[in-house]
A and B are shown apart, each in its own frame.
Chain A
């Protein structure tokens, strides 16, 4: 009974949603003058996957996303823990994070592109958008650590580093894992958008921009689908790894 329910929930429903989306896409292509059907797009995707230029661009885009993700995540984690320890840090960080969250992404691109390289611009844009998101998600997890546990650790003579390692990080682990999983696919999306705006060489964003310039809609859609599939894959792998680790710890 449980297996049947799992099959329906985890396979049949997502498969039905995917099938319905493909059908709507096919109908839209049929009725519009764009004429880019799912099958044409899949063909274009296969073609792109055979190009050396794609893999070089893909590698650089993923690298930029990794750098932006790592920098913003580590910074957010450290700052959220410090903010939970020291009220002054929390008060100083609050307006800065709010301001960063409010800055329009396009404005950031336009400002940075004049002073740093297009590649660095995309990473900076990624950090500026991801850092406030991670900080806002990790701060409640850091401040939510049970007061009694902190006191027990103090009584047992644990120093700050030991309290961080044996108390804070294990309790924050679910929030860290959840934000880490969703954060990396968000980073890829952000980096690709920033690459289009800043016309970064050797990037998926630039490949999309070129496809648009050459009115190659099949190629543009195919590149978009590749990015979507990569993000879904990262999400799925991350969730599976997290579920496995969670089971192991119990």
Chain B
């Protein structure tokens, strides 16, 4: 009897373990957005509970959980780094690239003005989000300029030192442990508040054109074209909401944070929002820019895209 009870308990525990995966309500379209600048891409429609006749639920998640969320196929749609969307697509997950929403918000700050990237040689550059867009962008720019870089210290190369987030880079700049820091808005604005700190390089200008498609919208095949069109229309109709109402944008992000998490976006200004370079460009119009950026990332490290350039059906054209 004791042995039977033990078996039943173990079996029940096992069912709890496997059954604990919370399922989404099929009637609600779940949209995940990472904390920080990408959240500004859809903040204008956070107040909506219905779009295109469907119930919607927006959730702002901590930045480093958006990739795993896509891997687990949790949201129906998500704003995510473009390379992360390509990565999960290459891993066979049911997401395709629908539109780009942020086009570069990265800047190098420091206490010294420089005129060329090569002047970074012999200095330590603090970099956020190792393996993601900030890291890959700076590696691409340095490679294209023929500048050596690595994690060792040397006078003939740029030393890259990685940090978990912008706050640590700012602390390093303040203490003098770092000569320069690569940061994204809105962290750049915080860094520029330090005495003597100045913007050294605008990575968007260095990249050329109108910047690079840093983050985009990924959608599952189960999401209809009609819904996506309705979402695009709602975002376009809301206009430049974050710029016009920065305080309201901060409140909305905080209100939609996943339970148990806290947003790192505490304060915004219209100028900061502008520098986040938010604009919606549909897949058919940004396809070339996306492929150009992904090719550059693939050349740096194929693992950043899951080992291969995504195939043509990576893009979902919604007319």
Contacts and interface: CB of A to CB of B under 8 A. Distances in A.
Contacts of B87: 214-215
Interface stretch (A25-33, A161-169, A176-184): A25-33
Given A114-B172, A209-B130, A213-B129, A197 B164 contact: yes
B68 interface: yes
A33 B73 contact: yes
A110 interface: yes
Contacts of A202: 151
Interface string A185-202: 000000000000101011
A28 to B, nearest CB: 7
B152 to A, nearest CB: 8
B92 to A, nearest CB: 9
Interface residues of B, number: 34
Given A199-B164, A214-B87, A214-B131, 16 more contacts: A24-B14, A27-B14, A28-B17, A32-B18, A32-B72, A33-B73, A34-B72, A113-B172, A114-B175, A199-B162, A214-B303, A214-B304, A214-B306, A215-B84, A215-B87, A215-B88
A32 B74 CA distance: 12
A201 B151 contact: yes
B71 interface: yes
B161 interface: yes
A9 B71 CA distance: 41
A215 B67 contact: yes
Interface of A: 24, 27-28, 31-34, 110, 113-115, 118, 197, 199, 201-202, 206, 209-210, 212-217
Interface of B: 14, 17-18, 21, 64, 67-68, 70-73, 84, 87-88, 91, 129-132, 151-152, 161-164, 168, 171-172, 175, 177, 301, 303-304, 306
14 contacts: A24-B14, A27-B14, A33-B71, A33-B73, A34-B71, A114-B171, A199-B130, A209-B130, A213-B67, A213-B129, A214-B306, A215-B87, A216-B303, A217-B71
A53 to B, nearest CB: 12
A114 B73 contact: no
Nearest to B136: A213
